Each structure stands twice: as structure tokens, then as C-alpha cells.
Amino acid sequence: MGAPVSPWSLRDTLAAGTHGALGRARDAITATEPDVRAWVEFAPEPTGPRSGPLGGVPLGVKDIVDVAGLPTRCGSVLRAGAAPAVADAAIVAAWRRAGAVPVGKTVTTEFAYFSPGPTANPAAPGHTPGGSSSGSAAAVAAGHVPLALGSQTAGSVTRPAAYCGVAALVMSRGRFPVDGVTGLAPSLDSHGVLAARVDDLAAAWAALTGEPDPAGRTPRTPRLLLCTAGPLEPPMRAALAGAAERLRAAGTVVDLLDAADVDALTAAHPVVMAYEAARERAVELAHPGSLSVPLAELLHRGAAMPETEYRAALGRVARHGEALAAATHGYDAVLAAAAPGPAPRGLDATGDPVCSRAWQALGRPAVTVPGLRDDAGLPLGLQLVGHAGHDGDLLATGCGVEQVLRA
């Protein structure tokens, strides 16, 4: 990758004033987009006054989310000739009301599943940026925009953020409507947003919701549960253990979470995902020759699945979700790995979402905390998983954790 890149802090921009932010985005994209390849379409240059707390902050939008006047192609040849959307998705409209300005559509994997697009990883050249919100993660990591929207069905926000060394929030499922979003599995799909730091996500959340800024809350001693479930690679396992020790040294309570329920949810999630995806994307399933092999296999597997298997998986989600609700009661968040390790080398795959499947099955909010590196200098991401409906509380906890780990 040519010119050096670094993420763009939203909070710093708001403090300095947003005048010129759109020009900064245009210049940054012009300078490095030929290498990063994070974008598929750009919006016309906006005109007129920009109100709202974000006051003209540039926003990238994943190309499964409608933006009025732009096509939504979903990374698929089946949507190559899509007409421009006639209206914003509900989540885009909400960000516009807060003052954000969509500047374009970012690359997504095919229908937000596994088949990658052309996007490079600005933080780890030669390694995958992850998926499916690959373009949004790369656009933030490259400093093209301070905010970009993603979506998550398995690990599509958490993992790219970890691989690209940026922060992300997966919102509680149902916090905002999904109208105008091309989904994959309705009971699993969640909105996400990516930024340079957790502190920036807190500022964005306050602007979006009108809630008090989570970063401004009076600090208190957090209580965390450490989750070491999953096939973690040695660098990630060491980073997670080291982070837990640093947090304990700073006064944070960090207890160990029994992984049995997490493992059960991780196993149930792909069953639910396959069954729902086959029905949500039934039109595309009728054209298997125009689908990637991974997506075609997912849809065929789900289409052949008996409803009884699906219902049994939903039952396991409910049962183990109740057990985890009891286990996490009285704790602020679960501390876990955001991905099994650093970004795998190459651009022909997007990595493994295993670390997020359990939490996504429950619709809980999750924050990716950047800042750690392996011995080769590749980004490693942690995630904090909060309680459903308490996204602001989770961001407040995340700001505190970020401060400790960056000290």
C-alpha cells in the first residue's frame, strides 16, 4: 500500500469543528482508494446547510443498506443492474437526522456472507480485511471517513474491525428498524457502526440517540467476565490473558465465565442462520449458477433442513441464553476475543466468525476494542459483550477498558 494511512477520530473532528470534513474525506479517498478498494459507489456532492450534532460528518454505508439515489448491489452479480434506491434505509435516515452525510457505498461480501470482494486491509497489507463489512472497516482504517455502517449476522462487524485495527459497535438487535436493509437471517441480523476508537463510537452513539455521551459518565470499577471459548490462536489467547491481567491491575473485577453455554450457542447459530438464509434469499437460490460456492452451499443446506431441526436450534438458543443471562447478571460485560487471531494472509477468504456466533444468536450488543498487536505487528481485537438494550452502558464500559489498554 502506497501512502501511509491512519484512522480518523470522530471525537477529535467534532471538537475541532466539522467544516471541511467532506473535503477531507474526498482527498483521503482520492489518495488511497486505488490501493484500499473499499468503495463501490459515491454519492453526489451534498449541498446546503448541515444540522444535527454530527454537522456534516462523512459516513460510509455498507452496500446492503439503501441510500436514496444509489443502487444497492449487495456484492452480487445478480444485483449488478439494480436501480437506485428511492429512499434511505431507516438506519441511514437516523444517521442523517443526527447530521451525518452518506458519501458512498462500501464493499460487502456477496449478500453479507463469505465470498470476499476486492478490498485490502490498510492495517495489515496482504491480509484479509475480514467480512462481510470489509469495505466499511477498511474505509475507517484508511482514514477515508470517521464513521461507516456495517451489519452483522455472525461476525461481520466484529471480525473486520479486529482485523483492521478499528473499533466497532454491534447494536442490540431491534434497537433500530431494519427497513431498507437486505438481510440474510432475520432473527440474527443486527446493525453495526465502525470508528477509529471506542471513544469515537460513544460520541457517535450520543449523536444518533440523543442519550448522554457514554464517555462522559462518572468512572466506576467495572465487573467483567472473561470468556476464553473458541479455537483461539496462541497470539490471541496471550493477548486476551494479558488484557485481563492489565485490567485486574487497574482495579477491574475480571472473573472467569464457564464456556459450556457459549459453546452450545456457537453450535446452534449456524443452524438458525442456514435455515433462515435459505428462505430470506429464496429468489437468489433460484439462480445457483450466479452465486459463489459458499453462498450456494449455505442456501441449499438451509433449504433442505427440516423445520424440526431449526426449531430445536432455536430452543437451544433460548435455553442457553437464559443460562447466560443468569451467569452474567451483575456484570457489566463479557470480555472475549473478537476473532480467533490476526487477519489471515491473502484476500481469498474472510476469516472465521466463531468468536461472535454465540453473542449474535442472543442479539446482545458487542463492542470491538482495538489497540493490541501480535509479535508481527498485526492487529488483534477484543470484544466486550453487554446486555441487550444497554448499548450505551456497554460503550461506557468499553471506553474505560480502552483507556486501560492504551495506557
Q: Does any domain span residue 395?
A: no
Residue 1 pLDDT: 56
Q: Does any domain span residue 243?
A: no
Q: Does any domain span residue 277?
A: no
Neighbouring residues of 339: CB distance < 8 A, sequence distance ≥ 6 = 130, 155, 158, 159, 162, 163, 236, 351, 352, 355, 380, 381
Cis peptide upstream of residue 132 (ω within 30 degrees of 0): yes
- Among residues 9, 62, 76, 105, the one annotated as catalytic is 62
Q: How many domains does the chain have?
A: 1
- Measure CA 286 to chain center: 29
- Among residues 156, 172, 292, 356, the one annotated as catalytic is 156
d(CA 184, CA 153): 7
- Among residues 9, 76, 115, 132, the one annotated as catalytic is 132
Domain that holds residue 68: 10-221
Q: Does any domain span residue 177?
A: yes
Which of these, 59, 239, 223, 224, lies nearest to 139 by C-alpha position? 59
Q: Does any domain span residue 3?
A: no
Residue 3 pLDDT: 59
Return the residue matching grid coordinates 495506557.
407
Lookup: cell for 151 = 451489519
d(CA 136, CA 151): 10
Q: Does any domain span residue 72?
A: yes
| 62 is a catalytic site residue | yes
Lookup: cell for 290 = 450466479
Q: Tell me the pairing of strands 39-42 and 101-106.
A: antiparallel
| pLDDT tens-place string over residues 240-271 | 999 999 999 999 999 999 999 999 999 999 99
Residue 45 pLDDT: 84
Q: Does any domain span residue 376?
A: no
- The enclosing domain of 188 has a CATH number of 3.90.1300.10
| pLDDT tens-place string over residues 151-165 | 999 999 999 999 999
Task: Encode the chain (407 residues) as per-residue pLDDT tens digits.
Answer: 555 689 999 999 999 999 999 999 999 999 999 999 999 999 998 766 678 999 999 999 999 999 999 999 999 999 999 999 999 999 999 999 999 999 999 999 999 999 999 999 999 999 999 999 999 999 999 999 999 999 999 999 999 999 999 999 999 999 999 999 999 999 999 999 999 999 999 999 999 999 999 999 877 889 999 999 999 999 999 999 999 999 999 999 999 999 999 999 999 999 999 999 999 999 999 999 999 999 999 999 999 999 999 999 999 999 999 999 999 999 999 999 999 999 999 999 999 999 999 999 999 999 999 999 999 999 999 999 999 999 999 999 999 999 999 98
- Measure CA 63 to chain center: 14
Residue 48 pLDDT: 63
| 132 is a catalytic site residue | yes
| DSSP E strand boundaries for 328-392 | 333-337, 366-373, 379-385
Q: Does any domain span residue 194?
A: yes
pTM of the model: 0.97
